[in-house]
Structure 1
């Protein structure tokens, strides 16, 4: 037992030396995750700060002018042109110069004063459905607030229902508040899987794999010796992303670091299991890299990072159950934003433990088979 542990520690030391002896390799452990986190934090956002639009004011009344002033006073809507007919504004939408066309119908002011229907049409560019939907939501909110304020100013009957909204865990509904915690698992999985998958392939290309075969190492010891360094690197990268979230983006951390790192350890064990499986079937580093990308893209799409898994077809929802990134994102968001405790995250952690317990033995079997 002691000799086996000593051999494993020797392998771990060797792997860490391979990774850390080169300054470029040391930099690649920390710098790319931080850069990716910063890019995602600023670029991958659904928050709209600039909505170019075209105005079609067919009423030309004091009410329509006041509505337009409220739209543009928000600082979000930027007018690109004013027209009398909708057809005149359509070329701007076709050329992607505007995201919305706001059409104020004739009789808009009269409708407000009489309590009848006051027509405002918002035409959106559906080629980017998500962005257009958000822009439409902004416009609808501003128009609704304007109508309520107009009625109150004129002493007319207020709407029967007043809606007051409040967002828990993310008061300003900022995309990066949900995106950055999710990247702790996403970027870590990308780097860890590739590092693990290419470790054995690198040995084959450099000709040192044969030395492992003649050395007194069992396949299980070789697997453990290659898995633990990858886990150390993964924890280091996750910590770097966490520090960026805390001190650069200043996203408040509501939970327990112990719970977060327990979940990350289980997640990395499951991710490394997949990486070792890929390393066992890849003949060289190029094949290992291609296999990683083949697996990583479905993992990301089926993880709930960009869209809720509940909205996916039933068949795909079953696939998310074997995706470790699904549980990692759920754990990081719950701990980071909600302050979730270990007990409520136990089902997700148990699922990761099962995935690791299945993927590791399969990888070990494949490894022995290839040896």
Structure 2
């Protein structure tokens, strides 16, 4: 390595670490992302909610149910008394899984026959459903092996039947593609708005904009509208591709989806304009966008269940607008839920939109002068 090349490398390192913002951009984002990914990005399933509907009162069914009650993978949230309780429980996400033990279960096993055990699972999150079903299969397989060793029967004591609601074949595409609507809408909107003011400052045209008759709020709206149009347009394109190309069923109504989409995009616009107001260059705006996007996607439940995260991470997810819109878009696609089911998701997302846009307006006016 020649002395000139070495000098150039040293100069670049000095230039990088001499600037305080550059030092923070190099050191802080990796640490934050390491903590978030380390705690939040987990595919382990613990304490999955389980409800039990036992139509048999014999010793065999009690022993089988006891295996699930003692398993750290499941948390029993209730014991059902009738078949009519199953559907509303899964609809409102009161339980991920309902374990149903059929009538005459113990009597059938005593006669050398199999006991019918049915697992009814919420298939809206196919990844979580598959993990839960693997645990169910593992528990029943171990239980069967122990029972066969204790008896001379040849048939399996417990025979598992699986039925997944909202996603009968547990296709991961049905879970992932609707989530991409939220993901790409956020990325495109954030980049468009985050670069808007920073681009003007770097090009030296921002001062020219200030001497025009336009008021600050008019300039802000002008900066926000492209993000809104592009974000909603991008989401519309992905919805069409999901339905007509990927064949994901859209059971719900677009009139339910689009008001939520507009609120979601507005919340992202507020965040993008805040980043843009803080940034003096395009590089800073891009780094700020990246610093927000990665944690936001991880904490949203896009790929890993929020319920698996530690409590303090679950608390952080309430500040993430993508968390709320993901729930809405997936429920509209897979179960056809109406707007009356989304109030608990709409009002926090609306509050985030108002807060971020208000703060962006204040920052914009404050940094104009």
Same fold, judged at TM 0.5 (above)? yes
What does the per-residue CA deviation read over 1:275-306, in whole Å, with 9 as the maximum and x for residues that have no partner? 00000000011110000000111001100011
Q: Does 1:224 align with 2:229?
A: no
The equivalent of 2:336 in structure 1 is 339
Q: How does 1:1-371 map to 2 (within 5 A)?
A: 137=134, 156=153, 158-371=155-368
Q: Aligned equivalents of 1:286 and 1:192: distance in 2?
A: 17
SS in 2 for 1:250: coil
SS in 2 for 1:166: strand
What does the per-residue CA deviation read over 1:227-246, in whole Å, with 9 as the maximum and x for residues that have no partner? 12211100110011111111
Q: Aligned equivalents of 2:366 and 2:289: distance in 1?
A: 21
Q: Aligned equivalents of 1:311 and 1:223: distance in 2?
A: 39
Q: Aligned equivalents of 1:331 and 1:221: distance in 2?
A: 32
What does the per-residue CA deviation read over 1:35-78, in whole Å, with 9 as the maximum and x for residues that have no partner? xxxxxxxxxxx9xxxxxxxxxxxxxxxxxxxxxxxxxxxxxxxx
Task: With the length of structure 2 as denominator, give the TM-score of the two structures.
Answer: 0.59
1:310 CA displacement: 1.3
For structure 2, the 5+ residue unaligned runs are: 1-42, 44-111, 113-126
1:202 CA displacement: 1.1
**Alignment root-mean-square deviation, CA:** 3.1
The equivalent of 1:82 in structure 2 is none
The equivalent of 1:97 in structure 2 is none
Q: Aligned equivalents of 1:207 and 1:339: distance in 2?
A: 50
1:322 CA displacement: 0.8
Q: Aligned equivalents of 1:175 and 1:208: distance in 2?
A: 47
SS in 2 for 1:205: helix
Q: Aligned equivalents of 1:170 and 1:224: distance in 2?
A: 41
1:161 CA displacement: 3.0
Q: Aligned equivalents of 1:362 and 1:281: distance in 2?
A: 12
1:157 CA displacement: 5.1
1:137 CA displacement: 4.0
Say whether the 8 Å CA contact 2:192–2:226 is kept in structure 1.
no
